Amino acid sequence: MERQKNILDFLIVGAAKCGTTSLADYLNQNKAIQIARKKEPKYLTYEFLKNSGYQGPGDKQTEDYAVKSFEEYIKLFDRKKGHVKLGEASVDTLYFYQQTIPKIKKEVGSPKIIIMLRDPVKRAISAYSHLVRDERETESFEKGLELEEFRMKNGFEFIWAYKDAGLYYDSVKAFRQHFDHVMVLFFEDFIQNPVESTHSVMDFLGVEEKHTITLSRHNISGTPKMKGINRFLSQPSKAKDLVKRIVGQNAGVLIKNKIQERNLNSIEVSKVTKQRLFQHFEDSIEALEEELNVSLERWKAPYR
């Protein structure tokens, strides 16, 4: 199939555990916006990861889920319904920026880019908690940090990069250099004012008609109290699909998230570990402040 340019209007490129799933859901509630039928299709990274990536526990499920061809990718979007803006959200796009930026320009065109960032220490803990919830991570957080270099050299999925995925500066700078329209949204602002933040993204996309947003938490993480319930909620099933058909997609998500939230215990990390981790990120944070001309003191203060 001939590759069309400008097939999408926007990409939410990352970072992981920074609210991208919620943002994509809120945008998709607007009739003038269509998010890809698959959240995180990962088409932009699959080609160069298929032989060397997806080697960690549970990574095979990510590989199986990934969209593997351009033909399959463009079928995720339906222009016939008259949606004004088409986009998708794959958070590994930011992490693998050196490979994905050329692929975007070659196959997608010049979409508007949305980047969501979060205190990298909290992001790392959230990524760890995500893998613990899914019963993929069995080590302590501190041990996971020690193992990161070994894991990444041996083809583990990028979600295992607790430290490296929080070094945002180089990837953000690269996207700002290669694309004309780049918006950076901070998780902390998004959580505090989700409606206002979503509307600001809609303004960035050129969508004038706002909508009533149904708010919901997504990708809640932690240690499961009851693993059976957690497995049922975390994995696709016909029973869950049936519930969503009966009560509606939005109500189904709300019910699932409420049950999941009650079934998970948050993971505690020592102050010393957080401070050491912050030192790893400090130079990158300061460079990002200069690049974006913003203060990120709220990312620094808790660890000083």
Task: Report if residue 20 sits inside a domain.
Answer: yes
Are the beta carbons of 230 and 136 closer than 8 angstroms? Answer: no
What confidence score (pLDDT) does residue 285 get?
A: 98
96-125 residue pLDDT tens: 999 999 999 999 999 999 999 999 999 999
Task: Report if residue 237 sits inside a domain.
Answer: no
Region 192-198: mean pLDDT is: 97
Residues 6+ apart with CB under 8 A from 129: 221, 222, 223, 266, 267
Range of the domain at 140: 10-222+266-303
Task: Report if residue 41 sits inside a domain.
Answer: yes
- How many domains would you assign to the chain? 1
Mean pLDDT for the chain overall: 88
| Model confidence at 233: pLDDT above 90 | no
Region 281-299: mean pLDDT is: 98
Token pair, residue 128, equals 């760890």
Domain CATH for 37: 3.40.50.300
Task: Report if residue 61 sits inside a domain.
Answer: yes
- Residue 267: pLDDT band (50, 70, 90) is confident
What confidence score (pLDDT) does residue 24 get?
A: 96
C-alpha Rg value of the chain to the nearest Å: 19
Task: Report if residue 125 sits inside a domain.
Answer: yes
Task: Report if residue 207 sits inside a domain.
Answer: yes
Task: Report if residue 254 sits inside a domain.
Answer: no
What DSSP string runs through 223-283? EESSHHHHHHHHS--HHHHHHHHHH-HHHHHHHHHHHHHHTEEPPP--HHHHHHHHHHHHH
**Could you tell me the pTM of the whole model?**
0.87
Task: Report if residue 245 sits inside a domain.
Answer: no
